[in-house]
Amino acid sequence: MPGSSRPRKFQCCMKHSLKFFLTATSGVQDIPEFMGSALVDGVQAGYCDSNIKTAEPKQDWARKFMKDNPQQLEFYVNECYRLRDFLKATIGSLMKRLNQTGSVHVLQRMYGCEWDDETGEISGFNQYGYDGEDFIALDLQTLTWIAPKPQAFITKLKWDADKARLEFNKNFYTYMCPDWLKKYAQYARSSLQRRDLPSVSLLQKTPSSPITCHATGFYPDRADLLWRKDGEELHEDVDKGEILPNHDGTFQMSVDLNISSIAHEDWKKYDCVFQLSGVKDDIITKLEKSKPMPSRVSCSGFPAGAAIGVVVGLLLLLCIAGLFLWRKKTNGTQ
């Protein structure tokens, strides 16, 4: 009926995740040469880099967990040193093998696991990117490394021959990582069940540009943003973006509406609707001729859908400490 929106598709149960993002750089000034972040369900729980030389919990629940389990904090501190040295050695080896000297290079690693608290299904992943592109990934089904680029084939042969390391990986992603994740999720339950509503803005670059409905500051990431006309959801002339993380642990998303075929007198028929899992009332922002404001650029506004090269990636580093993502061009290991 008019004024209503589509039925919510959010589920009561969710898939939890524990992800580690590591970044090593060469030839980059004014930022740590190594950075690492741990994320639980998309929220940064811990951080370390080569400047602070320790691991720091970033959430209250994470600080409590580490206080109750000091051996885990000690483990992460040691891992920061070990992984820093490993990635630095690897990036140096790659530069020599690929005949690279002098310029900026970035080596990234993303690894971790996911756990479905309803089905009990567990999956793990371990992959590397070099200079903004996929480099090598572990296939946990076959316990072999996948090299999407010829430059990684030598690394694949070397790592495939390290059977002890492969067995450790199998044990880590099958047992250790999911066990940690379940414990973290239990400690983080109250935090992860919180609901933060966003601020919603209508933005427009020029009078003929699409109108962007932008919601930022919401939590969790089980949310939706849509355009309606006369209370009915629009699918044509709409371009929906991905949900992106903010530096403070909240999320943002945008959806564009092409107004080229909309008469000015019909603007009042349109509105933007934000829906958040666990929240009954929607946030509705009506489209009015005087409402859209010029769009702005911020650290949280970098697009995640496009491949992130070295330059853009380094800008992202300055905005969200240690969180580096490269475009996934292969099916990988998940």
What percentage of residues in the chain have a pLDDT greater than 90?
Answer: 58
Instruction: Answer whether residue 7 is part of any domain.
Output: no
Q: Does one domain contain both 177 and 202?
A: no
Question: What tokens does 28 get?
Answer: 């980059």
Instruction: Answer whether residue 329 is part of any domain.
Output: no
The pLDDT score that the predictor gives to residue 30 is: 83
pLDDT, tens digit (0-9, with 9 covering 90-100), for 84-111:
999 999 999 999 888 887 788 999 999 9
Instruction: Answer whether residue 5 is part of any domain.
Output: no
Q: Does one domain contain both 42 and 173?
A: yes
What is the pLDDT averaged over residues 47-63? 91
Q: Does one domain contain both 237 and 286?
A: yes
Instruction: Answer whether residue 45 is part of any domain.
Output: yes
- Domain at 221, CATH number: 2.60.40.10
Instruction: Answer whether residue 118 is part of any domain.
Output: yes
Q: Does one domain contain both 201 and 187?
A: no
Distance CA 230, CA 226 (A): 13
- Which H or E run includes 166? helix 163-171
Q: Is the pLDDT of residue 320 over 80?
A: no
Number of independent structural domains in the chain: 2
pLDDT, tens digit (0-9, with 9 covering 90-100), for 109-150:
999 999 998 889 999 999 999 998 999 999 999 999 999 989
Contact 146, 153 (CB under 8 A): no
Q: How confident is the model at residue 180 (pLDDT cuts 50, 70, 90)?
A: very high
Q: Does one domain contain both 200 and 166?
A: no
Greatest Cα pair distance, the chain, in angstroms, is 69
Domain residues for 274?
195-300
What is the pLDDT averaged over residues 247-251? 82
Question: What tokens does 22 get?
Answer: 């590591």
Q: Does one domain contain both 312 and 282?
A: no
Q: Does one domain contain both 131 and 35?
A: yes
Q: How many CB atoms lie within 10 A of CB 305?
A: 9
Q: Is the pLDDT of residue 243 over 80?
A: yes
